[in-house]
Amino acid sequence: MSKERQIGTVRVEFASKRTVVVALIGEHDLDSRSALRATLAYATESRNLLVDLTACTFIDSAVISLLLATQRRLEAAGRRAELIVPPHPGYVTRLFEVTGIASVFSVHSARSTALASIAEFALLGQKTA
């Protein structure tokens, strides 16, 4: 059982003053949703969000809904929530393909491009501000 518990974990990295990277590792579902929600709420209090799904093996509608809600909350606050999904085929790629979520989020294939994109937005945002 302990082996299975380890599957759904989250790693939070404060990549810069303005950006936090939350990596979902393993499987995330209804069971891990509330923990994930709390984590995201804390991590994104004043930062842009990059959700790294590279090591994610499963997410269901509960997690997708949480991600969408978080994105809506951040955008309302003038911040960004973007995704990192590796280009190679896998569960998440397939899910995004089937559900069309990719059209809602900005999806990056690598962390470097995602961070660059966020930094650019932050600069723009500052300029705009």
Asked if residue 98 binds another protein (CB under 8 A), the reply is yes
Asked if residue 50 lies in contact with residue 118, where contact means CB atoms within 8 angstroms, the answer is: yes
Among 41, 77, 87, 91, binds another protein (CB under 8 A): 91
Among 11, 31, 77, 113, binds another protein (CB under 8 A): 31
3-state helix, strand, coil in the chain (%, to 5): 50, 25, 25
Q: Taking CB under 8 A as the rule, which mask of x and - marks residues 37-66 in contact with another protein?
A: ---------------------x-xxx-xxx
Report the DSSP beta bridge partners of residue 41: none
Antiparallel, parallel or unpaired: β 9-14 and 19-28: antiparallel
Query: How many C-beta atoms lie closer than 10 Å to residue 18's C-beta?
Result: 18
Residues that bind another protein (CB under 8 A): 1, 4-5, 7-8, 27, 29-31, 58, 60-62, 64-66, 68-69, 72, 89, 91, 94-95, 98-99
